[in-house]
Amino acid sequence: MRSQLLVLTLGLVAGPAHAQWPAITAATPIGDSELAFTANWAYDHNAFHHVGEFGRADGFRNDSHFRRRETGFVLRRKGVYDFTLQYDFEAEVWMDVALRLQSEAFLGRDVGALRLGQFKTPVGFDSVGSSRNAPFLEPALPVQVAYAGRRVGAEWSLQRPHALASVAWFGGNDLEGDNAGQTAALRAAWVPRNAAGDVLHLGVAASREEPDSASFRMRARPEAGLTLVRLVDTGSLEHTEAIHRVGLEGLWIEGPWSLQGEVLDVRAARGDGFADVTGRGAYVFGSWVVTGESRGYNGYATNVVPAATSALELLLRYSALDLDDGGTRGGCQSDWTVGANWYVGRNLKFQANYVFAHSDRQGVVSDPEVFGLRAQLFF
C-alpha cells in the first residue's frame, strides 16, 4: 500500500514545471440547483522517537494508514439553500448532515441563515474550520480538549464583511448515538480587515453543555493522529453537571505571512460536593508562504491556492495544556511543531510535521518526538 501511494504521489507531481494544474470538480446542474460530490482523503505516516516508557506494547508505534476518507455531496441552490451529507469511511462516522436556508430567499432581506441537522460545535477555531484546510496534521493540544465535535441541533448565523455571529442549540444524541445531552453555544468575531492577503480576525466562542452521562474527561494526543496514547489525561470526572467551554481566537494575514492563536478554558462543573475541574491552554503559530501567495479566509483560514503549479508554506507552532487543578492531576504538556505544506494545484496537499513534545503527569516526565507525513486529495 505504501509503495502504491508513493508511485501515485510521484505520478501526480510530475509534469510541466510551470503548468497550471486543472482543478478537480464533480458537479452537475439539477434544474435551478447544483449537485456537487465532495471528498477529502488523507493518508498519514507517524514515526515516534525517544518514547521512554511508552515504547511498551500499548504505547507509541510507528504506523501508516488513512487518517480520513470523507466522502459526500452538497445539493445547493445559490442564495436559497444547501444540503450537505458527508460520511468518513475511515472512522465510520457521519460528519455534516445538515440543511441550511438563506433568509433573504424567504423573507426578502438578509437576516442570516438557519441550519438544521448535525454539524460542528463552535469552540476550537483550529478544528471548527474544514479539515481539508488544516495547517498542521493535528489540532493543537488545548483544541483537542475544548472542541466538542459534531452534534445535532439548530443554528442561526450571520456573516458580514467585517463581523460574524452565530447562536446554536444542540440536543439529544449525535448521529452515532453518542454525546447525549444539551448544549447552548455562540460565536462572534470582529474582522476590521477583510481582503485577499489582508485579514485581521478577533473572535470569541463559548458553550455550555449538560451531559446526560454526568461524566466528562479531558485528555490530548501529542499532536499525532495515529496513536491512542495520551500523555496528559484527567481520567473520568464523575458527577459532572455542566461543561463550560470558552475560546478567544485571533488570525492575522499579511501577504505571505500569517499568525493564528487561541486561548482556551474548559471547566467541568460538578455536583454532590465534588470540586470543579478546569483545563486551560493556548497555542500560537506563524506561517510563511515561501512562493508568495497568502492563506485564504472565509470566517476561518483556508488553504493556500498556488499562483502557478504549486506553493510552499513553512510553519512553526507552540501549544500548551494544563490539566492539573486541585486534586485532579491530569498533567501538563507543551509541544513545539515544525511544519511544511506543499500545495499542488487546488486539490492536492502534502504535509510534513515534526513535533517536540514535553509532558509531566504526576511526576512522570516524557519527551517524545513525532515525525508525521500526509498526502491529501480533496475536492
Structural contact between residues 363 and 33, judged by C-beta atoms closer than 8 angstroms: no
Q: Which amino acid is at 199?
A: V
Distances (CA, A) of 218 to 188, 248, 273, 351, 369: 25, 19, 20, 28, 22
Query: Residue 168 half-sphere exposure, CB side, CA atoms within 13 Å?
Result: 33
Joined together, the cell numbers standing for residue 78 give 445559490
Percent of the chain that is helix, strand, coil (3-state, to 5):
10, 60, 30
Is residue 295 exposed (0-12), middle (13-18) or buried (19+ Cβ within 10 Å)?
buried
Quote the pLDDT of residue 53.
72
Residue closest to 355 by CA, chosen among 341, 342, 343, 373 = 373
Give the model's pLDDT for residue 19: 58
According to DSSP, the β-strands at 257-270 and 215-220 are unpaired
Radius of gyration of the chain (CA): 21
In angstroms, rounded to a whole number, what is the distance separating the alpha carbons of residues 31 and 106? Answer: 19
Phi and psi angles of residue 39, each rounded to the nearest 5 degrees, phi first: -155, 150
d(CA 355, CA 369): 5
Could you report the per-residue pLDDT of 238-247, keeping only the tens digit for each? 999 999 999 9
Give Cα 366 to chain centroid, integer Å: 26
Query: What distance in Å separates the CA atoms of residue 269 and residue 77, rounded to the nearest whole number?
Result: 43
Domain that holds residue 152: 2-378
Give residue-wise pLDDT tens across range 258-306.
999 999 999 999 999 999 999 999 999 999 999 999 999 999 999 999 9
Helical spans, DSSP H, in the chain: 2-13, 103-107, 125-128, 141-146
Q: Are 335 and 355 in contact (CB under 8 A)?
A: yes
The percentage of the chain sitting over the pLDDT mark of 70, rounded to a whole number, equals: 94
Q: Which residues pair with 328 in a beta bridge?
A: 325
Cell of 342: 506543499
The H or E element spanning position 116 is strand 113-120
* Interior/surface letters 171-196, b for 16+ CB within 10 angstroms, e for the rest: eeebeeeebebbbebbbbbebeebee
- Residue 147: name the closest of 243, 238, 278, 225 by CA: 243
List pLDDT tens digits, range 48-81: 999 877 766 578 999 999 999 999 999 999 999 9
- Count up the domains in the chain and report the number: 1
Interatomic CA distance for residues 111 and 103, integer angstroms: 6
Average pLDDT score over the chain: 94
CB 372 within 8 A of CB 353: yes
Kindly list the distances between the CA atom of residue 113 and the CA atoms of 72, 83, 102, 107, in Å, as whole numbers in the listed order. 22, 13, 5, 11
| CB burial of residue 36 (10 Å; 0-12, 13-18, 19+) | middle
pLDDT in tens, 3-45: 444 333 434 444 444 556 778 888 999 999 999 999 999 999 9
What is the three-class DSSP state of 239?
coil
Among the ranges given (21-25, 192-196, 268-272, 340-344), the one the predictor scored with the smallest mean pLDDT: 21-25
Q: What is the mean pLDDT of residues 151-180?
A: 96
| CATH code (residue 119) | 2.40.160.10
Q: In this structure, are residues 167 and 158 in contact, taking their beta carbons and an 8 Å threshold?
A: no
115-to-59, 97, 150, 181, 349 alpha-carbon distances in Å? 41, 10, 13, 19, 30
